[in-house]
């Protein structure tokens, strides 16, 4: 038994690559995204009443992570990469079915000449172009469980201090600055990296951000136009 | 572009048919379910660490509701069945991709000779045998949004008073009584039904429940062994 599903939309975000994407949706609330429906699903009726909801669920595809074979256990970055946990006890991409689940805030519904009616969202942890299979309203009375405990995750996640000199910050479009600062504070290095000398590069929107991390401080060393 | 997904498990619940299933997961917390993995995915390693989580997400298939054609709008029962709402602004089954999303409580992990390691869950609104594509841990810090508003749903849902005579209640297995009472209070009639004379029949576990509804009171008229 199998089910074949088709993307109804794609999300447009400031992350052209996987690198730097926050580990969970909603962690960086400033992140802006735009859900653009596939031509076949560009039907405004589907969205009637959606503007009354503040939060939405997205079910999407780990399109960059599809492996031919999933693994029963993974090593979550939060545990330092040394402990194996069952894949179903994590939100890891390397699952039997490569489905992702993210809660985003609905910031607006906008009609555009070129893209039809789009959903403007905040807090999306998705790579630009990620295929979306379903959008559902968030229903607090069944979906919200602040009392839920989180197994091994309770060890916590440490944030970085961000040192972004004003003259470099000015090179980032004003509307993107808060989101960028928050992404950096969430430690955008790949898992298990800890080389204080290394200069990392991360694409964010129309800019390339270079940084170094040492002693819990992320120092931005350059803001560049990306090499085309 | 398409993705083919395969069920990793099926859930076993007390609902042999769609009739009577609560409209959302978690509404009837007493409901017990058992997630049994498909032989191919009967690998205990996949679950390592899952017992540390109190809540799980299930992504599942609206297997009884697959229509050849979805509709852009639906008429939610909560609005009396007269108002059309965009399907993506609802949790209706008649979606472009027939994926369901439910939060359940994890009550235990049990090793069984015949079924392998199973997950015992509470609050599942799923029909017996529903295919499950993914199980993810619930992470309160990103999934819980008690402040979320719920659009048209704020009109509220009225519960029924349940009149279940003690001599009939005794015919229900003791472990199932709380769940049954809660299912009945949530009004298990099909949408838009409102015929005070009509006797409804609902299968629940090993029993057939007969009832009538008038003036906000659900009166159980019989508890029978189901006709085989």
The interface pTM score, or ipTM, of the predicted complex is 0.81
| Helix (DSSP H) and strand (DSSP E) numbers for chain B | 3, 13
Where in chain A are all domains bearing CATH 3.30.2310.20?
158-224
**Ranges A86-90, A138-142, B42-46, B79-83: which has the least confidence:** B79-83
What is the CATH number assigned to the segment(s) A9-143? 2.40.30.70
Q: How confident is the model at residue B118 (pLDDT cuts 50, 70, 90)?
A: very high
Q: Which residues pair with A40 in a beta bridge?
A: none
Where in chain A are all domains bearing CATH 2.40.30.70?
9-143
What pLDDT is recorded for position A89?
Answer: 93
Mean pLDDT of B66-94: 82
**Higher-pLDDT residue of B28, B71:** B71
What pLDDT is recorded for position B25?
Answer: 57
* Strands of chain A, DSSP E: 3-5, 9-12, 32-37, 55-61, 73-74, 85-86, 99-112, 116-122, 131-137, 161-163, 200-204, 207-214, 217-224
Task: Report the alpha-carbon distance of residue A67 to residue A108 in Å, rounded.
Answer: 35
Identify the residue among A23, A37, A46, A133 best suited for mutation to test binding to B, counting B beta carbons within 10 A and taking the highest: A46
Mean pLDDT of B114-136: 94
Q: How confident is the model at residue B155 (pLDDT cuts 50, 70, 90)?
A: very low
How far B96 CA sits from the closest chain A CA (Å)? 7
Q: What angle do CA A84, A15, A196 make, to 5 degrees?
A: 60
Out of B24, B55, B149, name the one closest to residue A53 (CB).
Answer: B149
Task: Report chain B residues whose CB lies below 8 A from the CB of A8.
Answer: 96-97
How far B5 CA sits from the closest chain A CA (Å)? 5
Q: Which residues in chain A come in under a pLDDT of 50?
A: 154-156
What pLDDT is recorded for position A155?
Answer: 44
Task: Report the alpha-carbon distance of residue A166 to residue A164 in Å, rounded.
Answer: 6
- Choose among A76, A122, A175, A211: nearest CA to B137: A76
Q: What mean pLDDT value characterizes chain B?
A: 87
User: Do B98 and B62 contact (CB within 8 A), yes or no?
Assistant: yes
Out of B73, B89, B96, name the one closest to residue A41 (CB).
Answer: B96
Task: Report the alpha-carbon distance of residue B56 to residue B99 in Å, rounded.
Answer: 16
Classify domain A158-224 at the CATH superfamily level.
RelE-like (3.30.2310.20)
Contact B8 A97 (CB under 8 A): yes
Count the neighbouring beta carbons within 10 Å of the beta carbon of residue A125.
Answer: 27
Please state whether the predicted TM-score (pTM) of the whole model is above 0.80: yes
How far A61 CA sits from the closest chain B CA (Å)? 9
Residue A184: its H or E element: helix A177-185
Mean pLDDT of B187-214: 86
Out of A3, A84, A88, name the one closest to residue B135 (CB).
Answer: A88
What pLDDT is recorded for position B213?
Answer: 92
% of chain B exceeding 90 in pLDDT? 49
- Choose among B92, B98, B105, B80: nearest CA to B24: B92
What pLDDT is recorded for position B102?
Answer: 94
């Amino acid at each position: 038994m199998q089910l074949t599903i088709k993307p109804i939309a794609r999300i447009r975000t400031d992350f052209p690559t996987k690198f730097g994407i926050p580990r969970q949706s909603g962690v960086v609330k400033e992140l802006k995204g735009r859900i653009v429906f596939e031509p076949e699903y560009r039907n405004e009726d589907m969205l009637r009443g959606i503007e009354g909801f503040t939060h939405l669920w997205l079910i999407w595809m780990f399109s960059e992570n599809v492996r031919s074979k999933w693994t029963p256990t993974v090593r979550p970055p939060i545990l330092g990469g040394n402990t194996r946990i069952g894949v179903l006890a994590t939100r890891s991409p390397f699952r039997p079915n490569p489905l992702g689940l993210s809660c985003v805030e609905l910031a607006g519904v906008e009609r555009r000449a070129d893209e039809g009616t789009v959903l403007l969202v905040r807090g999306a942890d998705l790579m630009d172009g990620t295929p979306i299979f379903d959008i559902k309203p968030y229903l607090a009375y069944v979906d919200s469980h602040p009392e839920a405990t989180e197994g091994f995750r309770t060890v916590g996640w440490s944030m970085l201090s961000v040192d972004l000199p004003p003259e470099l910050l000015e090179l980032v479009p004003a509307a993107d600055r808060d989101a960028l600062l928050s992404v950096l504070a969430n430690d955008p290095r790949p898992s298990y990296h800890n080389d204080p000398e290394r200069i990392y590069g991360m694409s964010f929107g129309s800019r390339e951000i270079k940084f170094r991390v040492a002693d819990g401080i992320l120092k931005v060393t350059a803001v560049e136009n990306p090499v085309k």
